[in-house]
Structure formats: C-alpha cells, structure tokens
Structure 1
C-alpha cells in the first residue's frame, strides 16, 4: 500500500517576493504541499510536496513551469549557488517505496520539463554518474535538452535520493576565512564527518552561516554535527532546519518541522476536503474537526510525548476516515508512514516510560496493516 508514495523538495530561486512564492506553492498543490520555507538572504524557497506518482509529476512540472514564467535569473541576487529558477528537484521515496521508483519519477519529470517548457535538465543522484558539484561547475552536459542554458531560466537539476536534512548554524565568533576552513574539515569529501556537505555564506549584518546537507542520517544526524562543533570549541548561534526533518533525527531546531507530522496533517486536511464534499451535516462537522486536528499536529514539537501523541492521532485517523467512507489508499499510506516514523523516533527510555501507549500504538498499526 505504501510502495508508491514520494516526497519532493524543489528548491526555487525566489525567496523575496511572497506573491511569487505563493504562486509556486499553488502550482505544486496538485499534490500535497507539506511546507513552504523561504529565505530572503539566500533568495530561495524550498517547497516540500508529497504524493503518488501521477499527482507528484503533475505538481512538479506545473511548479517548474510557474518558476520559468515568474523568475528571471538575470535579475536574481542571493548568496546560494544556483543553475536554474527551479535549481534542484529531488525525489525521495517514502515508506516502502524504492529508490528505483523515485529515479523513474525523476526521469519522467525531467523529460516532461524539456518537452513542455524547453529548459535543459541535468539528472543527478541515484543511478546517475553526475553530482550536483559536477553540474554547478559546468563539467557535464544536460541529460536532456540543449547544452546552452535557457536565457532566463537556466537549467533544472532533477534526481532521486534518500532523505537528507538541510541544517544551518550561525557562527557568531568565527570570521569567514576560519568558517570556510571549518566547513572544509567537516566535509566527507575532505575526510571529515560521514555524510556531510558544507558551505559557508556571508549574510547581511556581518553574519556567518555554516550551511550543511546531512545525507547519511544514520551516521551523522544534526545532533552529531552539534556534538562535533561543541567538542571543537566552536560557539554556536541560531540553528535552522530548512524544509522538514525526519522525527528520528530531530533536534530542537526541528520543532514544528517534523516530516511525519506534516504528512499526517496533510492527510487530515485532505480528509476534511473529502468530508466537506459530502455536504451533509455529520460530514461537515467532521471536516471542521479534521481541520483543527491538522493544524495542531502540523506544529508537533520534538518532545517525546508530543511525538507519541501525534503518532497515536495519525493511526487513529485511519479508522476515522474509513468510518466516514473517505479513506483512500494514498491517505492511509500517508498516515501509516507518519505514525511509523514517529514510532521509530521513540528510543528505549521513551518506550519504557510509555510502555502501554506504545504497545497499543503497535497493535493499531499492525491491525491497520492487515486490513
């Protein structure tokens, strides 16, 4: 059931114009928009979207088309490197979905972008020989389209990958030169921490930002980077998660930005829409309650009891939507993946503290899997 669900996190080269960001998110709403995270200094917006293949492909192509229409790279200013108006479009498998299936979607999206919008596309990630570093350095040719980039839209990078966490830290007591040396020492490619890519950006207000992608979360989660920096005596300023973060590796910076909680919230909102479409009083009342539930669980903090409560609500929503006769396979998959991901985040100490509730959750998830 959960073998055809994906997340995509397109990064658009626009972080300053709210009306354009809203249009990008609106175009992506053909699938489930989980989050919109814009940064004016980077002049970049990260939109997290989830859905099944057909809806996700439609959402991504539509949002890229909107970006080509509304963004002109010739006028773009921002600290983050970029090759296009929709700079990177990663496809991430969720639940039991395979990376191979994610790569198939990446290929479909890339080919449609070239066929419909005529912007060259580079393929990267799983199953590809190109890296984003190769593409940004101009060392490779596009996978589809002309080698010369679109005059206003540049080119698009599309690829399949596993989940990663984009993690930024301000360094209040380090100058740019020392920060760059620190970033080099942290990178996996330089013999540093496994699964770390790191850059340094000089932001307005004399702020120095260490910007990292953590792509081997089982080996180096955000907490591992923090520990390493503290051990080196580096003073840490504001910490920031860009986009969403899997609950299993969440730190305080991920409060309200848990991937699984946003999946459950999106399922609840879609359930509310389906209930409202029934138009009878009972379904309309349920639609209102589902909207309230979605708003609450989308803000789930990282405290264990809150994550457990959200996992319980996600599992319970399967039965609620089924009883209301609005449960779809997609919504059930989203809720199960959400509940299971939050359940996995419960370590041994938490399991010992909430034994009865966790056992009940496990039974509910097991029963849901058998239906």
Structure 2
C-alpha cells in the first residue's frame, strides 16, 4: 500500500473545542491514521500529523482545511510562533512507495483546492515553482502582519488563489519535503537576548548547521525561553549533534536545559542515531527493534 504523510500546521492552539471539530472533520472517513495532534497555547498553533493512501490524505486535508478556515480568524490571532495564515504550512512527505513527483501532484491538487476557497497559496521545497520560493522562511518573512503589503507586490503573486489580502485567511504554504524533525529545548532563563546568541551558533542561516532552522521564543507561562527548531535533514545533521552544541554554548552563560520536546512523529532512523550516540549501540541494532 502506498503511504503519504501530512503535517498540517494551523494557527489555533487555545480553543480546544474548535481544534476537536477540525480533528473530527479530518478523521470523518476513517481512512487515515492520526499519528499525532500537538497543540501549543504559547505558540497558538496545532500540528496534525497523519498518514494514509495519497488520495485519502488529500481528501482528509481538504476537509481539515475547510473547517479550519471556517473557525479561525487571523485578524485576531496572536502567538509566539511565526505564522502567515489560518492554515499556515502543509507539507506532504512520501513514506512508502510514493515518489516525489506523485507527492508534488497531490500538493498541487491541494493548492488548487485551497486557492479555489479564496486563500493565496505558495508552493515550497520540492513543489516550488521558483528558486526564490523554495524556503519556507523566505516565503513567511514578515509573517501575517507583512502579508497585506506583500500582496500588492507583483513578486509575491501567489501560485494559486487570489492576488489579494484576505484578513481572515492570511496565506498558506504547501509542498513536499524530506521528513522534518521539530525539536524544542526549554531553558531556565527569561533572557531571550542571550539565548539568541546560542541560536546563532546552530542556525544554518547564521553560519551554524546547514539543516537547522531555529528561533528563540518566549514561554511566559513557564518563565522560560525556548529554542524552537526544525531539523530539515536528520541524516546530515542528527539530533544529538545539535543538542550537544546547544548544551556547550549554554554553559558559557550558565543557562541550563529544563526539558526538550519532539513535536510530531520522529523517523525511526533518527532515533537509532540518537541511541547509538548516547548508549553506544553496536551495528547489529536494527530500526525494526523500535516498536509501539
């Protein structure tokens, strides 16, 4: 059976009743496996991670999106995580017997559907139509607050949907990418400016690791600062290497790690690397030994 995975990021993390309504619409046909639903109140964001046959994933994503657009109003949205739209980012990830080309076709069918609902849509990563739109960070620069002006600029004409600002929907980025690991580290400090110095040491855009996207976020409820990261290629930049670098940099400022978070699913091969580093597993260990 072909398997495609989707990780849909929506700009709602506080209204649990609405999040449940969105989940119900996603799972209405019982043909998808919901792997994870992660809601964060400080980020004001929920990530739905699910998998199934490609057409089932496409149809489920359409249902989720239609309900999310009904319930979320970006004009009133506040949250610490970068965001541009009610349905912010929708990556599709080939898992089993699905080619990149097939996944791109699914992402573009989804983009056309969403555009037809009145949402400006941009394609990124393997689905991008322009070299300067491969990066999510570049597309989302300025976030929702900058979107109205961007949509007056011909350079920001969307790939799908209207070339005009919709204050309720914002805009959506969708495409196909390698399996990404969302990894957060919570620190025993409220000194965000110092944490930004640590972020600079690991962030690819600032000369750190090529496959690390990272920002410092305030977590006021816990009186902490978080290093929020996306590891975009765990094979070339494994979790343990990033973690150990951060730990070393933090020691310069007498800041300690309180806890870490892995958001959404984690590829078994990434966990194997983690185990191999910390408990020195020998080469006989197989990923099939990791089970639920």
Structure 1 length-normalised TM: 0.66
What is the 5 A alignment of 1:172-183?
172-173=188-189, 175-183=191-199
Q: Whole-Å Cα distance in 2 between the matches of residues 85 and 67 of structure 1?
A: 7
Match of 1:78 in 2: 79
Distance 1:25 1:165 in 2: 22
Q: Which has the higher strand share?
A: 2
Secondary structure of the equivalent of 2:244? helix
Q: Distance in 1 between matches of 2:101 and 2:206?
A: 29
SS in 1 for 2:218: strand
SS in 2 for 1:142: coil
Choose 1 or 2 for highest CA Rg: 1
Q: How far has the Cα of 1:149 moved from its partner?
A: 2.7
Is 1:245 aligned with 2:262? no
Distance 2:165 2:62 in 1: 18
2:147 aligned residue: none
Question: Aligned-residue CA RMSD in angstroms?
Answer: 2.4
Alignment of 1:149-168 (within 5 A): 149-168=165-184
> Which deviations, in whole Å up to 9, do the C-alpha atoms of 1:224-243 show, x marking residues without a partner?
11111223325212100111
Mapped to 1, the partners of 2:260 and 2:281 lie a distance apart of 27
Quote the offset at 1:16 in angstroms.
Answer: 0.7
Q: Is there any run of 5+ residues in structure 2 with no aligned partner, and where?
A: 142-149
1:230 aligned partner: 247
SS in 2 for 1:9: strand
- Listed one character per residue, the Cα deviations across residues 314-368 of structure 1 (whole Å, up to 9, x for unaligned) are xxxxxxxxxxxxxxxxxxxxxxxxxxxxxxxxx962737x9xx97xxxxxxxxxx
Inter-partner Cα distance in structure 2 for 1:78 and 1:197: 19
**Counterpart-to-counterpart distance in 2, 1:188 and 1:202:** 21
Q: Contact 2:275–2:281 (CA<8 Å) still a contact in 1?
A: no
Matched, 1:207 2:205: no
Structure richer in helix, relative to its length: 1
Q: How does 1:1-371 map to 2 (within 5 A)?
A: 1=1, 4-29=2-27, 30=29, 31-115=32-116, 117-128=117-128, 129=131, 130=133, 131-137=135-141, 138=150, 140-173=156-189, 175-205=191-221, 206-232=223-249, 233=251, 235-250=256-271, 349=282, 351=284
Question: How far off is 1:107 after superposition?
Answer: 0.5
Distance 2:238 2:5 in 1: 20
**How many residues matched?**
261
Change (3 A) 1:104 1:165: same
Preserved contact between residue 198 and residue 246 of structure 2 (Cα < 8 Å)? no
Q: CA deviation at 1:127?
A: 4.0
Q: Is the 8 A contact 2:202 2:246 kept in 1?
A: no
State the TM-score, normalized to the length of structure 2. Answer: 0.82
- 350 and 18 in structure 1: CA distance in 2 versus 1, 3 angstrom threshold: farther
SS of the residue 1:169 aligns to: strand
What's the secondary structure of 1:216's corresponding residue?
coil
- State whether residues 114 and 161 of structure 2, in contact with CA within 8 Å, keep that contact through their aligned partners in structure 1: no
